[in-house]
């Protein structure tokens, strides 16, 4: 099978690296570079490190969280689930005025300018850590290009015949387009890094939306040729990663595979869109899935998780609170313990987190 990737930069070379590594001996991967790599810096979610391990590449510097506005949204765990109930319900009931991030080791380490790798020992507070990455876009594209060529991908000058063409050009072209500009009139822009926390402004020009169908005929769109959400907080890059992984899993060349690829990709794009909207978009008339998620969290602190979610439940909790969406009540199961005992338990947990953060090396 011959697969031709048309485009450049991270979109093209991540696709080539993953396909060439996964399909050794089963597919011929060719790349026609038609656009130069983008300049600037990229933010990646922790999941990208798993892809790097599979590709045997190293890139980026660690990030402990994101800041949209005044609140830090940390990576890793916040608190701990108690008797099967998410931690934020106990935090809500305790009501001591401390921000939720006080129970995040990543947030507390960032506030102190500290960093350490996560521990594999589940008994250690360091096991709750996780980190994303800050990447130089052009340098990262070169790292992926080297990995792709090493795995067997080739560069071509023209556009040979192919069984499948991957559009990594960054342009929607003449494809049918669903416009989301009313919900996302601007995108996020990385404005700096403070204490291993990426900070964002929300004034980047953007024509938000997605292709109605990711696959048309034998052409499949990835990256910004597929969707434009302005989610430079890691959402766009993670969407690229999951789209390419889905490409490996489904190889959309039959009608059934194309239909399933389009269905799952549409869900993944919409879930990434919803988080972007929650963080900096217009929430006056959200799409039904996000409206339901907002209503459920505001009513009772429940985070509705759909298929093909990009962000974990904890990230949604921090994002809701950062946008000022606070639950009106907590889960009644949080009342199984007396209130004073709950407060004592949270106090001990917070003290351990603070002590661990203080003991971490500077970074």
Question: What is the rounded distance in angstroms from the CA atom of residue 52 to the CA atom of residue 59?
Answer: 8
| pLDDT beyond 90 at 81 | no
Could you give the percent of the chain with pLDDT greater than 70? Answer: 100
Asked if 95 and 340 count as a contact pair (C-beta separation under 8 A), the reply is no
Provide the 10 A C-beta neighbour count for residue 260.
Answer: 16
Q: Which of 44, 43, 78 has the alpha carbon at shortest distance from 321?
A: 78
Q: Please name every residue paired with 132 in a beta bridge, in sequence order, or none if there are none.
A: 63
Q: What angle do CA 71, 76, 79 make, to 5 degrees?
A: 80
Tokens of 302: 């429940």
78-107 burial string, b = 16+ CB within 10 Å, else e? bbeebeebbbbbbbbbbeeeeebbbbbbbb
Q: Is 108 exposed, middle or buried (0-12, 13-18, 19+ CB in 10 A)?
A: buried
pLDDT over threshold 90, residue 360: yes
pLDDT of residue 52: 97
For 312-347, write each residue's pLDDT tens digit.
999 999 999 999 999 999 999 999 999 999 999 999
Percent of the chain at pLDDT above 90?
Answer: 91
Neighbours of 346 (CB within 10 A): 21
Q: Average pLDDT, stretch 19-29? A: 88
pTM for the full predicted model: 0.94
Q: Per DSSP, which regions of 70-179 are E strands?
A: 71-74, 132-136, 154-155, 164-168, 177-179
pLDDT band at 25 (very low <50, low <70, confident <90, very high): confident
pLDDT at 37 over 80: yes
Dist CA 253 CA 234 (whole Å): 29
Going by C-alpha positions, the residue among 140, 141, 144 that lies closest to residue 21 is: 144
Judged on CB neighbours under 10 Å (0-12, 13-18, 19+), 130 is buried
Residue 363 scores a pLDDT above 80: no
pLDDT at 158: 87
183-192: b (≥16 Cβ within 10 Å) or e: bbbbbbbbee
Q: pLDDT per residue over 193-208, tens digit each?
A: 998 999 999 999 999 9
What is the four-CA torsion angle of 130, 136, 142, 145, rounded to 10 degrees? 40
**pLDDT number for residue 92:** 97
The CATH number of the domain covering residues in 2-74+132-280: 3.50.50.60
Mean of the per-residue pLDDT values for the chain?
Answer: 95
Say if residues 310 and 275 touch (Cβ distance below 8 Å).
Answer: yes
Q: Which two tokens mark 117? A: 């790798």
Domain ranges in the chain are: 2-74+132-280
Q: What are phi and psi of 221, to 5 degrees?
A: -95, 140
Question: With 90 as the cut, is the pLDDT of residue 82 above it?
Answer: no
């Amino acid at each position: 099978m011959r697969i031709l990737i048309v485009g450049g930069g991270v979109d093209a070379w991540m696709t080539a690296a993953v396909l060439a590594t996964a399909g050794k001996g089963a597919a011929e991967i060719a790349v026609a570079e038609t656009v130069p790599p983008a300049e600037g810096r990229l933010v990646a979610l922790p999941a990208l490190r798993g892809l790097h391990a599979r590709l045997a590449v190293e890139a980026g510097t660690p990030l402990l969280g994101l800041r949209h506005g005044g609140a830090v949204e940390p990576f890793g765990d916040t608190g701990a689930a108690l008797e099967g109930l998410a931690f934020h319900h106990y935090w809500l009931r305790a009501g001591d005025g401390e921000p939720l991030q006080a129970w995040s080791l990543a947030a507390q380490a960032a506030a102190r300018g500290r960093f350490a790798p996560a521990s594999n020992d589940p008994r250690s507070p360091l096991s709750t850590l996780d980190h994303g990455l800050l990447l130089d876009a052009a340098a990262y594209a070169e790292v992926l290009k080297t990995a792709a060529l090493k795995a067997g991908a080739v560069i071509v000058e023209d556009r040979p015949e192919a069984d499948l063409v991957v559009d990594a050009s960054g342009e929607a072209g003449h494809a049918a387009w669903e416009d989301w500009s009313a919900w996302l009139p601007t995108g996020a822009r990385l404005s700096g890094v403070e204490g291993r926390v990426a900070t964002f402004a929300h004034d980047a020009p953007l024509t938000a939306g997605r292709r109605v169908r990711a696959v048309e005929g034998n052409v499949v769109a990835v990256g910004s040729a597929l969707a434009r959400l302005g989610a430079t907080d890691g959402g766009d890059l993670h969407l690229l990663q999951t789209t390419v992984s889905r490409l490996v899993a489904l190889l959309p060349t039959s009608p059934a595979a194309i239909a399933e690829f389009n269905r799952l990709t549409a869900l993944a794009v919409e879930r990434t869109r919803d988080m972007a909207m929650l963080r900096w978009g217009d929430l006056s008339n959200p799409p039904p899935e996000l409206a339901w998620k907002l209503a459920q969290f505001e009513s009772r602190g429940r985070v509705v998780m759909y298929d093909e979610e990009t962000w974990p439940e904890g990230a949604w909790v921090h994002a809701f609170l950062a946008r000022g969406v606070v639950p009106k009540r907590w889960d009644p199961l949080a009342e199984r313990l007396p209130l004073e005992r709950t407060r004592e338990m949270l106090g001990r947990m917070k003290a351990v987190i603070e002590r661990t953060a203080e003991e971490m090396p500077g970074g």
